Amino acid sequence: MKKELMILTLLLVFSTLVSISIAHIPEIVIEDRDYTVDPIIVKEPEISYAYYGKLQGSPHLYKIESDKQFRLYVSLLVPYVGQEETSDVEFHIWKDGEKIVMMHDYQNWTKWYEEYGGDWYLQGPTYEADVEAGNYIIEVHSITNSEDYSLAIGKIERFGPKEILWTIIVLPVMKAIFWSNYILIATYLIIITVIISIIFWIFKKRKKRKEQKSE
């Protein structure tokens, strides 16, 4: 029993580190579809999500429908691979068909290091304001529509067991898309496999104990 408690404690510590280190719940945007016709639906605009996407010939659109006032936070990052100091990726925000925010020709890109993942980004434009109820579209695009990007929407952190597990699963995929860091990906997948195996072993052992007691 003590061994099981120690293992569960270690798993809890690992999960806590994940939730502390990553402020946004990650989502991968790589589906082969026309996002200008079929936009990504943002159901909880105030909850912090980070959308990791690859522009593939056309803009990516994010749709928010709200029947009440809310705090809108939008921030743009692009991967930094050691040469570029700026990017032409930008976002515009539309409300009920009218453009209300245009982050065009942004010049104040800054390098930012994400400690948990060990990755460099360029931090781009950020918009934050209390907005009225309505239908909003956030459009991410560039001149060539061929770049990688990360779009953060929302600032309220929510990391329960479901979100932590999802983050652990998605991170290696995000690494493969943005940095091709296959060594780290392999290491991470090994850790995930070990964790899942340990959890399975604990539940299997507990089930066996219950069966023995009932006999």
Report the mean per-residue pLDDT for the chain. Answer: 80
> What span, in angstroms and rounded, lies between the C-alpha atoms of 89 and 86?
9
Q: Are strands 60-66 and 40-41 parallel, antiparallel or unpaired?
A: parallel
SS3 sequence of the chain: CHHHHHHHHHHHHHHHHHHHHCCCEEEEECCCCCCCCCCEECCCCCECEEEEEECCCCCEEEEEEECCCEEEEEEEEEECCCCCCCCCCEEEEEECCEEEEECCCCCCCEEEEECCCCEEEEEEEEEEEEECCEEEEEEEECCCCCCEEEEEECCECCCCHHHHHHHHHHHHHHHHHHCCCHHHHHHHHHHHHHHHHHHHHHHHHHHHHHHHHHC
- For residue 90, is pLDDT > 60? yes
**Which pLDDT belongs to residue 109?**
94
Q: How far is CA 187 from the centre of its chain?
A: 20
DSSP state of 111: E
Report, as an integer, the average pLDDT of 195-207.
76
Report, as an integer, the average pLDDT of 178-184.
62
Q: Are 38 and 62 in contact (CB under 8 A)?
A: no
**pLDDT band, residue 165 (cuts 50/70/90):** low
Give 117 or 132, the one with higher predicted confidence.
Answer: 132
Give 158 or 181, the one with higher predicted confidence.
Answer: 158
Instruction: Report all structural domains of the chain as residue ranges with CATH numbers, in order of start.
Output: 1-23+158-215 (no CATH), 26-156 (2.60.120.380)
Q: pLDDT tens-digit profile of 41-89?
A: 999 999 999 898 989 999 999 999 999 999 999 999 998 877 788 999 9
**Which pLDDT belongs to residue 87?**
93
**Which pLDDT belongs to residue 16?**
44
Taking the complete model, does pTM exceed 0.85, yes or no? no
Give 24 or 77, the one with higher predicted confidence.
Answer: 77
**Which pLDDT belongs to residue 17?**
43
